[in-house]
Structure 1
Amino acid sequence: YETGRGKERDDRAARRCFLKAAMMGDPTAMRYVAGCYLRGVGGDVNYDEAFRWYRKAVHAGDVKAQANLADMLDEGQGCDRDASEAQTYYR
């Protein structure tokens, strides 16, 4: 659904699929769900949910989510701004 390969592109369906996989514990899906919330793909922008899902992805072992979480901490999106905590994830 995300790319439209083989089917018509459907951002809402992609978000639902990512969310289902994330709720089953898939760290990559957690990162994708966070990105959907961050950019409003398949629904409304929600920085609080984006932050929550990036944090879950990081704690589940998704290394790529660390930079996204750090950016949100640095900008104060979906959380209180915390540059020192952001630095721990940038490393």
Structure 2
Amino acid sequence: MIVRIMGEGQVRLDDGHLAELNKLDDELLTEMESGDGPGFRRTLQALLARVRDLGEPLPDDSLEPSDLILPSPDATLEEVQELLSDDGLIPG
């Protein structure tokens, strides 16, 4: 699967990592719903760090269609809320 981190680029990520990423996504959703700004920021950074760690960066000139689009590291709680689906940022 191809994951885009807004403002950074794309990484190729094995589908087998989705369960781990979904745990962080669920935590992020809970923090957003409760208005926990510091928790939201911490979990967003952890989610993006895991995607970077687990994924293989694609070349900057590669234009693959993205299966997932994640917010930039400096996105606000309100900006992330606009990206959410019923399942959070990561479906499943």
Question: Shorter-chain-normalised TM-score: which range?
Answer: 0.3 to 0.5
Q: More strand per residue: 1 or 2?
A: 2
Q: More helix per residue: 1 or 2?
A: 1
- TM-score using structure 2 length: 0.34
Larger Rg: 1
